[in-house]
Each structure stands twice: as C-alpha cells, then as structure tokens.
C-alpha cells in the first residue's frame, strides 16, 4: 500500500491523505505530466523494481521497488515510499514529494541501473 495525497492528482481532495496503491490511471497521469516536463517520451511499460549500482561514491547499491520505502535516493534525501518507476533516457523514481506532488522525480542513469524488473514479470 502507498500513501499519497489525493490533492496531488486531478479531482483530489485538498489536505486529505489516503493509504492505497496508485491506480493504472493515476500512474498514467503522472507519466504524461513527466513527459511534458522532460520534453521526451517515457515508456508506458510498468516497472516494479530496479537495482542500482551508482557511480556516486556516497550512494550504496540500491534495490528500489514500488510500494517500498527507500533511503539514499539522493544525498541527504529522506526515506520515502516509491510510488512509480518510469523508463526514458534515464530511470525516474517517483515518490509523493518527488514526481507526484512536483514534476521532479529522482533520476538514475541507464549506466547505473543493473537490473530492471517489469510489473508483468514474476517476482523473485
């Protein structure tokens, strides 16, 4: 389950917080808004998780998975729950504060992403 403020999405109720997974339609809304922001195509295939071995020396290897909390998404960033992961020229990790409430997700370069698990693949 994921926490998100409904007011961040069209038709939301300001100040009310719900505990739920993003629907397919809500993920698509976020994807389309990010496409406008980055001025590029974002692949529509849903990603469940990525493994990152960053070239940033301060950042440990990460397993980033939708619906799970993750630390070290960026230097000094808080621990946040991942709501969606998108693939474009880079991988974009969306949390409530980064990518959903604002069109600025966490970015991970393709070179740093070692493994991608798509939502339609069986879990390990």
Q: Which 3 state secondary structure label does DSSP give 33?
A: helix
Query: Among 7-16, 36-45, 94-103, which is the least confidently predicted range?
Result: 7-16
Kindly state whether residue 9 falls inside one of the protein's structural domains: yes
Query: Is 123 part of any domain?
Result: no
CA gap 87, 14 in Å, rounded:
30
Residue 97 lies in a domain: yes
More confident call, 81 vs 54 = 81
Residue 29 lies in a domain: yes
Whether residue 80 lies inside any domain: the answer is yes
**DSSP string spanning 96-114?**
TTTBTSSS--EEEETTTEE
Model confidence at 22, in pLDDT bands (50, 70, 90)? Answer: confident
109 has a pLDDT exceeding 70: yes
**Confidence label for 120 from pLDDT (cuts 50, 70 and 90):** confident
Average pLDDT for the chain: 83
Q: Does position 14 have pLDDT exceeding 90, yes or no?
A: no
Q: In this structure, is residue 49 part of a structural domain?
A: yes
Question: What percent of the chain is modeled with pLDDT above 70?
Answer: 81
């Amino acid at each position: 389950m994921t926490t998100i403020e409904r007011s961040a999405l069209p038709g939301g109720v300001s100040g009310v917080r719900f505990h739920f997974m993003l629907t397919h339609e809500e993920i698509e809304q976020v994807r389309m808004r990010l496409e406008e922001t980055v001025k590029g195509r974002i692949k529509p295939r849903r990603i469940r998780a990525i493994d990152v071995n960053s070239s940033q020396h301060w950042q440990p290897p990460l397993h980033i998975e939708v619906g799970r909390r993750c630390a070290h998404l960026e230097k000094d960033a808080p621990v946040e729950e991942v709501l969606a992961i998108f693939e474009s020229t880079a991988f974009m990790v969306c949390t409530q504060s980064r990518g959903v409430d604002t069109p600025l997700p966490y970015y991970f370069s393709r070179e740093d992403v070692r493994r991608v698990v798509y939502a339609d693949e069986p879990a390990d």
